[in-house]
Every structure is written in structure tokens, then in C-alpha cells.
Amino acid sequence: MSLHTLSVAELVTGLAAKKFSAVELTEHFLARIGLMNEALNAYITVTPERALADARRADAARSAGQAVLLTGLPLAHKDIFCTDGVRTTCGSKMLGEFVAPYDATIVERLQAAGTVTLGKTNMDEFAMGSSNETSYFGPVRNPWDLAKVPGGSSGGSAAAVAARLAPVATGTDTGGSIRQPAALVGISGIKPTYGRVSRYGMIAFASSLDQAGVMAASAADCAYLLQAMAGFDPRDSTSVNAPVPNYVAELTTPLQGLRIGVVREFFGPGLETATGALVQAAIEQYRALGATIVDVSCPNLPLSVPTYYVVAPAECSSNLSRFDGVRFGYRCQEPRDLMDLYKRSRGEGFGDEVKRRIMTGTYVLSAGYYDAYYLQAQKVRNLISAEFKHAFTQADLLIGPTSPTTAFDIGSKVDDPITMYLNDIYTIGANLAGLPAMSIPCGFSQNLPVGLQLLGPHFSESRILSAAHGYQSVTDFHQRVPAAYV
Amino acid sequence: MTDTATPMNAAATGDWEVVIGLEIHAQLATRSKIFSGSATEYGASPNSQANLVDLGYPGVLPVLNAEAVRMAVKFGLATGATIASTSVFARKNYFYPDLPKGYQISQYERPIVERGSLEILLEDGTHKVVGITRAHLEEDAGKSMHEGLLNSSGIDLNRAGTPLLEIVSEPDMRSAKEAVSYLKKMHTLVRYLEICDGNMQEGSFRCDANVSVRRRGAEKFGTRCEIKNVNSFRYVEKAINYEVLRQIDVLEGGGTIRQETRLYDSAKDETRPMRSKEEANDYRYFPDPDLLPVVIAADFIDSVRATLPELPDQKAARFAAQYGLQIYDAGVLTASRELANYYEAVVQKLAGDALGAKLAANWVMGDFSGFLNRDGLELAAAKVSAESLAGLLIRIIDQTISGKIAKDVFEQMWADGSDADVVIEAKGLRQITDTTEIEQAIDNVMAANSNQLNDYRSGKDKLFGFFVGQVMKATGGKANPAQLNELLKKKLSA
């Protein structure tokens, strides 16, 4: 039995039946990480002692009859979530040595649900990037082809799950940072509704867009994790106080009669032909499963990239002001005075992409430019939300590709930010409108995975997960593992 | 905080009209901070009242303190303002070591309170309504400390995140006196509402003044300067007066006023430039995405309205009507809720006496307030309770002692908290009202001063006072003055 090929349901059942212990399971994944992480660079920090201690506690709890939903399940956290006592770098030199004195809400909740933390995964610096190349800790490699990027910003979590160096991992999605890497490495990833999962303890990039979610092999695996993460948090004013459905139990909701809208704007120029064809085939699969396919249009959706690149930098320019070298994080050597401390700590602590966005954001919020950029972007954002809302009167879910292309070569787009930004053209809309959205694998183009995206109205996670699960019940793309990691 | 600043009237500014607007920062008396659960108590050791939210740690988020909202609404209702059904918190971005997040959470385009007003009483007895443009909620910054640290600065973030209500007036005031009168009235109001302790030394109530001058009759305002953080009523008046004369000097010398922020130096009694408009930060305000808009429903407003106390103006009007006081006296007695309550408690003990209310007013405003000021005491610390002051006044009314003797009795009461009757008995101060006894004393004095008696009887009326004094001396000041007058007149002219 290869423990790393089991689903969460199988792992949970196996642990409950004492087919294997949490310690054995944890040791298995730690051994794989020891062997394979160096080439992938998926983890920034691995915490074997802590993981084994957690695993021993989990086994003890099970023996004492105190096991809960996920007792003994190992996982990895994106290094954007604060973890008490373990460094949280956010992929940046600025926080290279930063140890948070507290746990993020989702870290706390997953611990309470019994999980064992293997370590913290690599990511684009402050989650700003679509290829994981902006990480101060070096790029992550795609397990399907080490010359390719795994996508970003949750590239470390994506590669770790794809190579089965963790059964599941947390991620965050501000403009596609869960879905795009999930697509590029052939796994499943869900970005819940804005407000469904607490942002407390998740280092902010763009507060009105950031949302924590799950990356795993299948939709069913995602359901288990989301169950433990979702729900109101009084420490996050933007988290929503609404009941959390039973995602796992509702996975088998039938597809019969489901209206799926094909968004015309998702199939414009820029979409690779092979990717487009695989997405079309998946749509046909849904038709065969009993869903009704309808055409919908969101005419302003193509404006989502420029809109995003005003809103997100504006918020990040303010969110990242706290990294000033005064209280925590990187501080330059021998500052001459206060201004020198600020300038050099930030100048030396942040990478190029982060600086580019801070400068863009500072510019769009400046007196004289605010109306033309920031306000205008908010108007377009409202238009896009309204168009989605209208589309959901015609369809229960929307469908399209996750990314216009498969994984590209490391280094091929780093000097061309605009082309890089266009990677997120299909994913950003969900963030602007706060909608839940998911990417699942739907085939391969030249041995590289292709992702299918499902979007739903606010708080329709259960419907999205069950639609994805229905597809995965008749396909096996989500079970494929790159040859080197079988 | 007494008013010793030189008064400046219209004549002193000649052809120039003074225009003043005030921005008041009132620290709200909530138990915890505006966006975190840390305590707000003053004077704790540095950084002992700053949690991760106050320190702006990565990943933390603000959660609005509902009590601060309730207090802002209370203020809005008390000033007849509009309470915004939706108000929005915005970020004011700038770098400063005592500003942990690199931005201050404030309200910008959509404040919680708009368009209120406050009526002030001017020296000539007339009233003036000062407009309140807006009042908004915001968090305070921390404090940078530069003293006693070699080659470095310290930061105390205890104050960071303390809730403030910034109250912005219209440029309606026309002299430093008016500005002080507005400031005092606001100080009274926030304490009445129990939304701010008003402690100016600890910075719970502070003020920036926007000052400009223009030619009388001119429509356009002159260029203004903002004087920062003046922390007493007296300094506000002095700082404004200095600034007004400085601006007039510059303008009359053919110069122009630069829009700038100035600091008042109380030691030198002058204002100095701090930063000009060109050096001012671009704060890049935008709505804070971590906080939802504050939506206030009508029933919430009603519930706050139900908690409004009797306001200073209402109380003063009632005192004037109910106790037959001059409106000015009523204003003095109601300047603080404590003093007003004290006065009413005294009056209640004197119930039924027509003169009691007036007598109590004179004593509470006079000796009682005077002694509080002299000793720098809060009302609550005074040893003379309302009941015991009433006990003293009853002895004046029933003529057991004279008003003059009462002052001596009060001294003793103030010093050791004893009751009036105890002091009167112990010192034998009971007034002599026995006619025979007074007549006996008069006879003795007349016999001993035959020369003066002859002079008086031959027309030297002025000597009447001499006889009064002699009899008082003979009776140890205890003769009832009215009786003494009457009996003396009778005997002298007999």
C-alpha cells in the first residue's frame, strides 16, 4: 500500500481502522519530502519534529477515543499563514526570519480538527506572482516537467500535492493563486466565497480579494479540508456569519438538471487551442452526465485584468506599509536616520515584483489620480459583479478554462510582467466579484495538465464541489501522478 | 485653568477680522481600544497595553468596538447633527515610527456625524451658534519618546488604537475668546455625555486651531495656519492671539501668509512653523477593505437617544426657571454635571425656603468653587458634602449665625469635614438674638464712648458704623446684624 496515493477519505478511514498510525503516515510523507523536495523546492520550511510530535498526539487521542474528523491527517500550509513558533516568510526576505507569535485562524481550526503540519510551502513573494518565480527562496519546479513553472502564487502547495509530498495543502487566492497553479500541476483547488474562510493570520496582499482555500488531489479531498476551515471568525470583520453546509455529505448531489453556463469571454484569443479543446470535451462530459449547457456572456470580463492591477496594488501598497524595519522583519544594517532605515529596509527587503506593485498602488491612490484609476476600477468591479449576478440567473454554475496555457518555462516570462499578468485572465473575475471558484484537471496537452474552472454564486461551494466530484467520478485525470513521484 | 490671557477685542485687530475653526480630538471613554481588545487606561508602563493588532503584526485584522460607535452617535444626537446611515472607515497612509501599520484608520469621505451645532454664550451676554461640520471616529497613534535614550528613540504603543472622536467646527469663531468659549462648551458637553473624561493634561481632550484673518467686509477667507495640539484653554487663547497678531503683522508689512502647520511654544508664547502645505503628505485615503461600512439603523439611534442625559443648555434653562437664578449663574452651575448635581442636592435639603436656592447658588459658585480651585481639588474629593453645606446654609437662614461667621465655619468644615453645628457649638458662634442681651451690649458701648455719642447726636451720622463695630466687637461678632441695627438706631437717637 502506498500511503501517498490514498485519498483523504481513505486516509481518514485507514487511521480510524488503525491500518496505519498517524506517526507512520507522517514519517512516510517526511521521507518523501526528504528525498524529493530539494529538486522541487516546494517547501520553504519542513518541521519534522513538530510533525511527529503532532502525529504522536493524534495517535494518543485516537487511542483515548478522542479522535475528530481529521485526526492524524498530515498537511502543508502555504507560508502566508502565521504559525506560532514556526517562521512565516511569505516568500520574502523581508520576513525571512519572522516567527509569528500566534496561529492564523485556519491553522488553529485545522489543528483542532486533528491535522499534522508537515511544513510551510513556497510561494511567490507576498503572493504576488503567477509562476512562483518571485519567491526569495527560489522558484518551485513543476513535478510534470522540472523546467516548467508550477504556477503561482501557491506554487509550493501545488507542487507538494502534485508530487504527493503532502496529501493536501492550504493555499490563498487573490487573483487565481489557488486555481492557476492547481491547473498547471494537475490537481484540484478551491477558492471559497470571499468571507467564507477567515483571513485572520493570513498575511494580507489585497484584503478585498484575498481568500484562503484548499489544494488537493480531488474535489472530495478539498471538501474534507474546507469543512474544517470554513465558518465565521469574530476576529475577521469581513468573514460571514452563515451556516457551513456538510460539504462531504453533499458531494454526491446529482448533476441531473444542473444548468452550466459556458462563458463566451472565456474562449477568446489567447486561449491555447489544445487547452480549449480539452475544456470543450469536459463540457460535453457534463452534458453526458445530465447537465444542461447554456451560453452566457459577461462582456466586461476582459477588463478584469486591468481592474485587478489597480485594486490589488492599491491595497497592497497600504498593507505592506507595516514592513518598515521598526518592529519586525528585515532591518537594514546601520541605518543613518529614520528615512534611511525606511528606505533601505524596504529597498533591500522587498523583491522587484513587490516593489513594482507597491509603486503602482501608490500611484493609483495619489491625489489627482485616485478618481481616474482607483474609483474607475471600483466601478468596473461593480459592473463585473453585476454581470456575474445576471449570468447566475441563467445558469447554476459557470464553466471555462482556468488558465489560457499549460505550464510555461521557468524564466520565460519574468521580464514581461504584462504577459505574466494575462495568465490570470480567467481567474481574476471570481476574486473581483467575491465568488467561489474551483479548478480541476480535465486532461493533458503535451504531457502537461490542463485545468477546468467552475464558478458559482456566493456560498455555492457545495454545488461546485459536487459538480467537480461528479466529473471526477467518471474521469481519472485527478488520480494521475507524474512518473517520478508515483 | 484660569483665564489670564490678555483679552483682545475687535479694536485690537483694527481693520482685520479674525476667522477661527477648531478641530477637537476627544478620546472616547471606552474600556478597550477602537479596533482591538487592549485596555485604554492612561499611564501604564510602555507597550504593556498593546496587543498584536495594536502593533500592526502581519496577518492581524481590526474589529470595530461597538461602544465607540454608540458614543459617536450620542455626540451627534446631542449636537443636533445628522447620523449617517452608512459611514465608512478609510486608511490614511503615511510612514511614522509610532504609526505601526503605516496607516491610520479614520473616516474620510463618509463620517459618522455631520452638520451639528453648538450654542455658546458670549461675554456680552448674547448667544452664538457655532456650526459643527463633522465628527468622525478614528484611532490614535502611539508616542515617540526621545528623552533619556542615548542616540535612539523609544516608541510606546499603549495609545495606538485608542478611540478618538475628531470634531471639526465650521470657521465660525471671530476671536480667541469665542474659540475658548466653544472649546469649554464642548468640554462640558462631552463630559455630560460621559463619552470623554476631558482630561487635557493626559491628552484626552486636545485641540488644533485653524486661524486666518481677512479685511473686515471681505468675503473670501484669508490663508489659514493650523496650530497643533494646544493642551489648555489658556494656551488656546494665547496661541490664537499670538497667531492673529503675527498674521496681521505679515499682511500689513506687505507679505503673504503661507498655508502651514505651526506649533505653539507655551514657554516662549509664540507659534513656530512645523511643515508647509508643500511638505504635507499625500495621505492616499481609500476605504479600508478590512472593515465593513458602518450601517446604523433608526432603532439603534432611538436606543441611544433614550440614554441622553439632560444637556448643559437644558439644565441651565431649567435652573434659571426653577430656582430663579440669573442665566449666567445657571450656566456656571451647570458647567459640569458634578457641580450641577451638587448644587441641586444642596437646594433639595433647603426645600421650602424661597431664598435657599439663591443662597445655595452663591455659596456653591463662591466659597465652595473657590476653595476647590484654591486647593486644585476635584469636586468628589471635597470634604464638605452637599448635605453638610446645606446644614451650614440652614443655620444662616434660621439666623443661628450670620453670613460672615458662616465663612469662618466653612473654613473649618473644609479643613476637617465636620458638620456646621459641631463647629458652631464648639466655637460658641451661635448668634445673639436675645434683644435684652444686645441692648445690654449697646448700653455698655454707649457708656464707654460718650464723646462719640455726643458727636453722633450733634449730626455726625457716619459714626453709626463705629458703634456697630464696637457692639460687634463686644459680642464677639455674634450679635444678629439686623437686630443690632434696629436697636442701635433706636438707642442712639433716644
What does the pLDDT look like over A136-161, one tens digit per residue? 999 999 999 999 999 999 999 999 99
**Grid cell digits, residue A247:** 460539504
Choice between B421 and A53, residue whose per-residue pLDDT is larger:
A53
The string of pLDDT tens digits covering residues B230-285 is 889 999 999 999 999 999 999 999 999 999 999 999 889 889 998 777 677 899 99
Is B286 part of the contact surface with chain A (CB cutoff 8 Å)?
yes
Is A336 part of the contact surface with chain B (CB cutoff 8 Å)?
no
Residue closest to B198 by CA, chosen among B38, B338, B352, B16: B338
Q: Is A199 within 8 Å of B62 when comparing Cβ atoms? A: no
The string of pLDDT tens digits covering residues B441-461 is 899 998 899 898 889 888 888
User: Nearest 5°: phi and psi at B78?
Assistant: -70, -20
Q: Is B95 within 8 Å of A324 when comparing Cβ atoms? A: yes
Per the CB < 8 A criterion, the answer to whether B110 and B84 are in contact is: yes
Residue A319 has pLDDT above 90, yes or no: yes
Rounded to whole angstroms, the Cα distance separating B489 from B494 reads 8
Show the beta-strand stretches assigned E in B67-204.
Answer: 82-83, 86-87, 89-93, 103-107, 113-121, 127-139, 143-145, 154-156, 163-169
pLDDT of res. B327? 87
Choice between B231 and B301, residue whose per-residue pLDDT is larger:
B301
Residue closest to B57 by CA, chosen among A18, A82, A373: A82
Q: Is A208 within 8 Å of B289 when comparing Cβ atoms? A: yes
Residue A466 has pLDDT above 80, yes or no: yes
Q: Is A206 within 8 Å of B289 when comparing Cβ atoms? A: yes
- Rounded to two decimals, the pTM is 0.90
Q: How far is B211 from chain A (nearest CA, A)?
A: 25
Residue A250 has pLDDT above 80, yes or no: yes
Residue B11 has pLDDT above 80, yes or no: no
Residue B1 has pLDDT above 50, yes or no: no
Mean pLDDT score across all residues of chain B: 91
pLDDT of res. B4? 40
Residue B472 has pLDDT above 80, yes or no: yes
| Residue A36 CB coordination number (10 Å) | 18
Q: How far is A280 from chain B (nearest CA, A)?
A: 37
| Mean pLDDT confidence for B179-185 | 96
pLDDT of res. B2? 38
Residue A410 has pLDDT above 90, yes or no: yes
Ranges of H-type helices in B145-221: 176-192
- β-strand B127-139 against B163-169: which pairing, if any? antiparallel
- Closest residue in B to A203 (Cα) is B59
| Mean pLDDT confidence for B303-331 | 93
Per the CB < 8 A criterion, the answer to whether B27 and B140 are in contact is: yes
Residue B3 has pLDDT above 60, yes or no: no
Q: Is B57 within 8 Å of A101 when comparing Cβ atoms? A: yes
| B101 contacts in chain A (CB < 8 Å) | 321-322
Q: What H or E segment, with its residue span, contains residue B344? A: helix B337-349
Is A102 part of the contact surface with chain B (CB cutoff 8 Å)?
yes
How far out from the chain centre does Cα B77 lie?
A: 21
Strand partners, B295: B86
Is A59 part of the contact surface with chain B (CB cutoff 8 Å)?
no
Domain boundaries, chain A: 3-252+431-485
Q: How far is A472 from chain B (nearest CA, A)?
A: 35
List the single range of A59-68, A189-198, B277-286, B318-327 with lowest mean pLDDT: B277-286
Q: How far is A235 from chain B (nearest CA, A)?
A: 6
Is A127 part of the contact surface with chain B (CB cutoff 8 Å)?
no
The string of pLDDT tens digits covering residues B135-156 is 999 999 999 888 777 777 889 9
List the single range of A195-204, A263-272, A452-461, B471-480 with lowest mean pLDDT: B471-480
Contacts of A382 (CB under 8 A, 6+ apart): none
| Active centre residues of A (catalytic) | 78, 153, 177
Q: Is B332 helix (H, G, I), strand (E, B) or coil?
A: helix
List the single range of A127-131, A322-326, A430-434, B7-11 with lowest mean pLDDT: B7-11
Where does the pLDDT of residue B5 fall: very low under 50, low under 70, confident under 90, or very high at 90 and above?
very low
Contacts of B318 (CB under 8 A, 6+ apart): B310
Interface of A with B in 188-217 (CB under 8 A): 199-204, 206-208
| Mean pLDDT confidence for B313-340 | 92
Mean pLDDT score across all residues of chain A: 97
Selecting from B64, B93, B100 the residue whose C-beta is nearest the C-beta of A327 gives B100
**Grid cell digits, residue B333:** 452651575
Rounded to whole angstroms, the Cα distance separating A136 from A157 reads 16
| B292 contacts in chain A (CB < 8 Å) | 237-238
Residue A3 has pLDDT above 50, yes or no: yes
Rounded to whole angstroms, the Cα distance separating B433 from B51 reads 71
| B284 contacts in chain A (CB < 8 Å) | 317-318, 362, 365-367, 370
Per the CB < 8 A criterion, the answer to whether A373 and A364 are in contact is: yes
| B95 contacts in chain A (CB < 8 Å) | 321, 324, 342
CATH code, A3-252+431-485: 3.90.1300.10
Q: Is A327 within 8 Å of B289 when comparing Cβ atoms? A: no
The string of pLDDT tens digits covering residues A275-317 is 999 999 999 999 999 999 999 999 999 999 999 999 999 999 9
**Cα B292–Cα B37–Cα A97 angle in degrees, nearest 5:** 90
Where does the pLDDT of residue B9 fall: very low under 50, low under 70, confident under 90, or very high at 90 and above?
low
Q: Is B56 within 8 Å of A327 when comparing Cβ atoms? A: yes
Residue A403 has pLDDT above 60, yes or no: yes
Selecting from A236, A237, A314 the residue whose C-beta is nearest the C-beta of B286 gives A314
pLDDT of res. B437? 86
To test the contact with chain B by mutation, choose from A324, A337, A373, A379 the residue with the greatest count of B C-beta atoms within 10 A, namely A324
Rounded to whole angstroms, the Cα distance separating B451 from B209 reads 69
| ipTM, two decimals | 0.96
Where does the pLDDT of residue B474 fall: very low under 50, low under 70, confident under 90, or very high at 90 and above?
confident
Residue B429 has pLDDT above 90, yes or no: no
**Grid cell digits, residue A244:** 457551513
pLDDT of res. A1? 56
Residue B215 has pLDDT above 50, yes or no: yes
User: Nearest 5°: phi and psi at B455?
Assistant: -60, -45
